[in-house]
């Protein structure tokens, strides 16, 4: 007798009566299953609409059924919280140079750290300041920047900034890659303004990026240098009254290959799979939103950002004060590409409060964790 186990699709015509009988049962099975899911929805709807935040997961389930990671990540053990990370900018320590210019000093420490990247899944990361992505550094155009890097990790590391700087400050081998226990100071002027990033440029590059060594590096425009777009520049400048009405969010699209086979098992925005699906980002309907978005996904050539129920203006690399793409609901970024997204839920009557999804529009990435929700509310207390 033969082994019947492997099944060739070409053989399916042989299935005959057995499969036909099975079909009936399966149709019955499916209708039973869908009833089950819809009854679940009703069960969750009652508490969900009451106040929003606490009942996020059931609300999400309404949209995607049972397709989500199970459980919650221990943010306290990780030492970082993806929701807090959205608005946690590192502005450095301010001082004045003898020539009167402003100096910003940042301190960054490298640390090997096991982090929980999805509920119950630990990943041996290499981190800047104990978090992935690393701190979102922010400065103003023209500031003198001094970044002190201390390597407490087990491998050589560096910070390679996407910006204008001297070859000595490039963070590549021979120019700022430092061994364990060493320290290096990167120094350069903050320019050009825009939404930039930094990452470790020690070799092999793919391994150092994939392990979590990257972060946002945002340079706000100096309004005095852009008289023709002074208001726009003021709106971008962190700390100005014009900037205060903006709801600014720092987002890094990343992914993790937990079994080291060169393909990612988990995709996310800010490291934790499904974090903003389970705990939606609250957005005040009346105030505009600005997202500083960078793609640091390793192993996949591109990533993308799609917003539901709305369109946005996009500033590729953030180096212009007028949009490079107007009125789009999807942008694509290759690795290290980044940009600024601006939109509002305050202009159209159709934008009632509720959950508006955002995700990569590669279904695979979405379903492996890179999906979240904006919870638009009338007013944020």
Partner 1 sequence: MTDETASNQSASPIKRFALLWAVIPFLVLAAAISWLFATNPLRSFENGAPPVENLTYERTILDNAGLRLLIRAGGSEPLKIAQVQVDAAYWQFTLDPPGPLARGQTAWIAIPFPWVLGEAHRVTVVTGTGATFEHEIPVAVPTPEVTSGSLLSQGILGAFVGILPVAIGLMFFPALRGAGPGAMRFLLALTVGLLAFLLVDAVAESFELAGKSAPVFQGGAMVVFAASASFLLLMAVSRRGGKPGGMALATYIAIGIGLHNMGEGLAIGGAFAAGSAGLGAFLVMGFTLHNITEGIGIAAPLLKIRPTFRQFVLLTLIAGGPAVLGMWIGSLAYAPHWSALALAVGAGAILQVIIEVILFMIRNDEGRADILFSKGVMGGLALGIALMYVTAMLVKI
25 binding partner 1? (CB under 8 A): yes
Concatenated DSSP letters of 24-49: HHHHHHHHHHHHHHHHHHHHHHHHHH
CA distance to 2, 19, 30, per residue, from 15 (Å): 16, 6, 21
| 275 marked among binding-site residues | no
Q: Closest by alpha carbon to 291, among 157, 131, 136? A: 136
Give whichever of 10 and 227 is closer to partner 1, judged by the CB atom: 10
| β-bridge mates for residue 251, sequence order | 293
Task: Tell me the pairing of strands 266-269 and 247-256.
Answer: antiparallel
CA distance to 111, 131, 373, per residue, from 303 (Å): 27, 21, 18
Give whichever of 61 and 294 is closer to partner 1, judged by the CB atom: 61
Give whichever of 201 and 211 is closer to partner 1, judged by the CB atom: 211
| 199 marked among binding-site residues | yes
Q: Integer distance in angstroms from the first to the last C-alpha of the chain? A: 73
227 binding partner 1? (CB under 8 A): no
CB 375 within 8 A of CB 316: no
Among 91, 121, 205, 330, binds partner 1 (CB under 8 A): 121
119 binding partner 1? (CB under 8 A): yes
Shortest spacing between CB 28 and partner 1, in angstroms? 7
Q: Which of residues 47-76 bind partner 1 (CB under 8 A)?
A: 65-70
3-class DSSP state of 55: helix
Query: Which residue pairs, CB below 8 angstroms and at least 24 apart, start in 125-128?
Result: 125/211, 125/212, 126/153, 126/155, 126/157, 126/200, 126/208, 126/211, 126/212, 126/213, 127/212, 127/213, 128/159, 128/213, 128/214, 128/215
| 200 marked among binding-site residues | yes
Give whichever of 66 and 349 is closer to partner 1, judged by the CB atom: 66
Among 122, 164, 166, 380, binds partner 1 (CB under 8 A): 122
| 213 marked among binding-site residues | yes
CB 257 within 8 A of CB 298: yes
| 162 marked among binding-site residues | yes
Shortest spacing between CB 298 and partner 1, in angstroms? 15
Binding flags for partner 1, 338-367, as an x/- string (CB under 8 A): --------------------------x--x
CB 254 within 8 A of CB 299: no
38 binding partner 1? (CB under 8 A): no
Give whichever of 136 and 297 is closer to partner 1, judged by the CB atom: 297
22 binding partner 1? (CB under 8 A): yes
Among 80, 89, 106, 123, binds partner 1 (CB under 8 A): 123
11 binding partner 1? (CB under 8 A): yes
| β-bridge mates for residue 124, sequence order | 114
Shortest spacing between CB 77 and partner 1, in angstroms? 13
39 binding partner 1? (CB under 8 A): no
CA distance to 141, 278, 296, 299, 336, per residue, from 302 (Å): 29, 25, 9, 9, 10
> Residue 133 and residue 80: Cα distance in Å, rounded?
10
Among 34, 45, 95, 96, binds partner 1 (CB under 8 A): 34
Among 83, 243, 258, 337, binds partner 1 (CB under 8 A): 258
Give whichever of 48 and 249 is closer to partner 1, judged by the CB atom: 48
Q: Closest by alpha carbon to 373, among 357, 352, 354, 350? A: 357
> Residue 81 and residue 216: Cα distance in Å, rounded?
16
Please report, as ranges, the residues that interact with partner 1 according to CB under 8 A. 1-9, 11-16, 18-19, 22-23, 25-30, 32-34, 36-37, 65-70, 118-123, 256, 258-259, 261, 265, 273-274, 364, 367-369
**Binding site: what residues are annotated?**
157, 162, 199-200, 208, 213, 361
- Binding residues for Cu cation, as ranges, are 157, 162, 199-200, 208, 213, 361
């Amino acid at each position: 007798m033969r082994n019947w186990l492997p099944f060739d699709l070409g053989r399916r015509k042989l299935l005959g009566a057995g499969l036909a009988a099975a079909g009936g049962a399966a149709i019955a099975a499916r209708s039973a299953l869908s009833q089950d899911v819809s009854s679940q929805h009703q069960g969750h709807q009652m508490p969900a609409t009451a106040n929003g935040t606490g009942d996020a997961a059931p609300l999400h389930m309404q949209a995607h059924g049972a397709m989500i990671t199970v459980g919650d990540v221990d943010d306290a053990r990780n030492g970082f919280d993806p929701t807090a990370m959205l608005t946690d900018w590192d502005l450095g320590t301010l001082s004045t140079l003898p020539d009167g210019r402003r100096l910003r000093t940042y301190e960054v420490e490298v640390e090997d750290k096991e982090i929980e990247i999805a509920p119950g899944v630990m990943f041996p990361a290499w981190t800047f300041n104990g978090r992935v992505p690393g701190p979102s550094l922010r400065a103003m155009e023209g500031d003198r920047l001094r970044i002190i890097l201390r390597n407490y990790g087990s491998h050589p590391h560096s910070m390679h900034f996407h910006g204008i700087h001297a070859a000595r400050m490039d963070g590549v081998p021979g120019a700022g890659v430092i061994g364990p226990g060493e320290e290096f100071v990167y120094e350069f002027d903050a320019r050009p303004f825009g939404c930039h990033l930094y990452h470790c440029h020690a070799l092999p590059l793919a391994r150092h990026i994939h392990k979590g060594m990257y972060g946002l590096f945002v340079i706000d425009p100096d309004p005095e240098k852009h008289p023709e777009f002074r208001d726009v520049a003021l709106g971008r400048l962190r700390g100005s009254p014009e900037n205060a009405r903006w709801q600014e969010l720092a987002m890094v699209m990343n992914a993790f290959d937990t079994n080291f086979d060169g393909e990612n098992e988990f995709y996310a925005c800010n490291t934790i799979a499904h974090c903003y699906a389970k705990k939606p980002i609250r957005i005040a309907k009346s105030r505009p939103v600005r997202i500083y978005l960078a793609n640091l996904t390793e192993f996949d050539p591109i990533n993308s950002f799609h917003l539901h129920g709305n369109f946005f203006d996009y500033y590729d690399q953030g180096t212009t004060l007028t949009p490079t793409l107007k009125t789009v609901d999807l942008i694509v970024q290759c690795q290290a590409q980044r940009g600024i997204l601006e939109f509002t839920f305050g202009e159209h009557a159709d934008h009632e409060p509720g959950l508006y999804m955002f995700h990569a529009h590669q279904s695979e990435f979405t379903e492996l964790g890179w999906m979240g929700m904006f919870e638009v509310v009338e007013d944020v207390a």
